[in-house]
Amino acid sequence: MDNNLVGGLYNIDMLEELEKGKAEDVEIKLIEENKLNDIYDKRDLTDLKETIVKDGLLQPLVAYKKNDKYILISGHHRLRAIKELLSEGKDVLFFGKKIRDTVPVLIHKGFKDTNEELLVILHSNIGRKLSDDETDRISSEIIRIDSEMYPTKQSRPKGETKRKSIEKISPISAKTIERHTNKTTDEKDVKYKNIISKLNRFKNYISSIDLLDLGNMEKQNIKIKIEEINEILYQIH
């Protein structure tokens, strides 16, 4: 993966290239939110809407063209805020010009793959205060992408550790990722222990049933269930 592209939107050279093309007026109805942006929680728009009404839209959105649509990279909250303000009959200005059916958009050239696209979206949100859930989701995605980039220890650049590789692509610190990964692992351990406990109790309950009072078919079904539970417990352990 090209590090210049990994940097994507936050890379100064790429930003300059985007700005050379200047913003295009794109019909709002043609702009779609990027599904990869669902990694972030949706936020309350009250303050943003007040700022846009007061100061206008200060930056164009950033999107890439896909067929006859434009897929957002940066500006999801601004687009939602603009739509709400227009539906409320309020004026939205971009450097003195009223926004009606179109909105200014910088056109990105697009991406080689989904991982590259996700990294650009993540880096376009540097400085954003993250919730614990957002940090967990981002940590998981960064670890997944790193593992796909370097599936084996030998595939990493010589002398480069996993932590260093992660720091190259991650919008949050490797230390934060490690902390959230450890927390997630601990939570999974607790869930597994609870599952094992419930399965063992169920197994003991079935085993305690007086088979003498049951018919042959019922006895066989219970034996099968016990075998299934034993197999699940074996796989979990």
How does pLDDT run across 221-234, given as a tens digit for each residue? 777 777 777 776 66
Burial of 39 (0-12, 13-18, 19+ CB in 10 A): middle
Higher pLDDT, 75 or 205: 75
Q: What H or E segment, with its residue span, contains residue 192?
A: helix 174-208
Identify whether the C-beta of residue 167 lies closer than 8 Å to the C-beta of residue 174: yes
How does pLDDT run across 79-103, given as a tens digit for each residue? 999 999 999 999 999 989 999 999 9
Distance between CA 225 and CA 15 in Å, rounded? Answer: 61
How does pLDDT run across 172-226, given as a tens digit for each residue? 998 888 887 776 555 555 666 667 777 777 767 666 666 556 667 776 777 777 7
pLDDT mean over 7-32: 68
| Strand bridging mode 31-32 / 102-108 | unpaired
Where does the pLDDT of residue 5 fall: very low under 50, low under 70, confident under 90, or very high at 90 and above? very low
Predicted confidence at residue 4, as pLDDT, reads 43
Distance between CA 34 and CA 70 in Å, rounded? Answer: 9
Predicted confidence at residue 106, as pLDDT, reads 92
Higher pLDDT, 122 or 17: 122
Indicate if the pLDDT at residue 15 is higher than 60. Answer: no
Q: Which residue is associated with the tokens 């896909």?
A: 66
Predicted confidence at residue 7, as pLDDT, reads 43
pLDDT mean over 47-76: 95
Higher pLDDT, 43 or 212: 43
Higher pLDDT, 171 or 193: 171
How does pLDDT run across 124-166, given as a tens digit for each residue? 888 889 998 999 999 999 999 999 999 988 899 998 998 899 9
Calculate the alpha carbon distances from 71 to 32, 36, 100, 149, 166 in Å.
Answer: 5, 10, 19, 25, 27
Q: What is the pTM of this model?
A: 0.69
Predicted confidence at residue 209, as pLDDT, reads 63
Distance between CA 66 and CA 33 in Å, rounded? Answer: 12
Which residues fall within 8 angstroms of residue 8, CB to CB, at 6 or more apart? 14, 111, 116, 119, 120, 123, 124
Predicted confidence at residue 8, as pLDDT, reads 44
Produce one character per residue of 194-210: b if its CB has 16 or more CB atoms within 10 Å, e if not.
eeeeebeeebeeeeeee
Identify whether the C-beta of residue 105 lies closer than 8 Å to the C-beta of residue 23: yes
